Amino acid sequence: KAGVTQTPRYLIKTRGQQVTLSCSPISGHRSVSWYQQTPGQGLQFLFEYFSETQRNKGNFPGRFSGRQFSNSRSEMNVSTLELGDSALYLCASSPRTSGGHTDTQYFGPGTRLTVL
């Protein structure tokens, strides 16, 4: 099976712009989660989508949004970019077949966003 893919891998934007990141989960996986990773804050949960519905959301401003399509692919959007949004954005998929803590999240390679 192909792994989780994320595009683009690298992105440079300027303050005030917006950006859209894409994630394709492992075939058959219905849950997609997004994380932001920075040296200062570590790995922080952004949101989770399951069957096109947002099931959980982390503590991030409304500038961060996402969606999931019927084929489970997901996009994440950040509007009005700030310097502090520079980070590695990781997407993870899981099958959610057991519906519990045994579900393992499998991560993509990430998108490294630099805001100038």
Cα gap 15→18, rounded to integer Å: 8
What is the SS3 assignment for the chain? CCCCEEECCEEEECCCCCEEEEEECCCCCCEEEEEEEECCCEEEEEEEEECCEEEEECCCCCCEEEEECCCCCEEEEECCCCHHHCEEEEEEEECCCCCCCCCCCEECCCEEEEEC
**Interface with another protein, residue 108, by CB under 8 A:** yes
| Residue 79 or 112 having the CB closest to another protein | 112
- Residue of the chain from 28, 55, 61, 69 that contacts another protein (CB under 8 A): 55
Stretch that binds another protein, among 17-25, 61-69, 70-78, 97-105 (CB under 8 A): 97-105
**Interface with another protein, residue 82, by CB under 8 A:** no
| Residue 50 or 64 having the CB closest to another protein | 50
**Interface with another protein, residue 7, by CB under 8 A:** no
**Interface with another protein, residue 95, by CB under 8 A:** no
- CA max distance for the chain: 43
Total residues contacting another protein (rule CB under 8 A)?
24
**Interface with another protein, residue 100, by CB under 8 A:** yes
**Interface with another protein, residue 88, by CB under 8 A:** yes
**Interface with another protein, residue 104, by CB under 8 A:** yes
